[in-house]
Structure 1
Amino acid sequence: RSIAENRGDYEQWLPELYQTANYLDLYIMSSYGEDRKFIQIFNKYDSCCFSGEFYKTYENEIKESLFTLNKGHFDIFLDDTHKTHKISDNALEIIIQSMAN
């Protein structure tokens, strides 16, 4: 990150966390449970971070784990409607629809 005050996310500053759980574990824990779901939204052309389709390297593994556990839902939405680092109107609609269901 290019701005010194932008220290990133909490899990990026707590290395002890990864002695217990990695990112895939965190995604499963975020998704697991009765009537629980986790949707990751990525900006395909994000000018800052997490752009592209890297999620394809782990998406099926998370979904297979949740299928085995038989509780929870994980999905990914790739927003290709813009080329900036923002939450688009399109992504907001996905969020609202997800919360309504």
Structure 2
Amino acid sequence: MASPPRMAESPGLVEWATATPPGESRSVHYGDDTDMYYKTREGSLLRCTPDFSQMDGSVDHDTIRIVIKWILRAYHLAWPDTVGEEKFWAGGGQGSGAPPRA
């Protein structure tokens, strides 16, 4: 996998993000900001850009894990046939940048 570009090279970020292979996720982190991407198997690129500036040092691992589980459950209840968004959040929630294996 290609390394994410530095933010000073932001035009490269677009190419890097759009090059995400279908069914995979990528993330880039800079300061207290994060760009998370997931490309569905159909080719749609999903993006989430949380800003943790107000949360510096106040979010522990258990809180993050619980919130991600809640998001996944909410997606599954609202859209049981949707796969891409659920894997996007699961990948981000794992912290590895990879969606869970089925």
Q: TM-score range by the shorter chain?
A: 0.3 to 0.5
Higher-Rg structure is 1
Q: Name which structure has the greater RCO, CA cutoff 8 Å, separation 6+.
A: 1
TM-score by length of 1: 0.33
TM-score by length of 2: 0.33
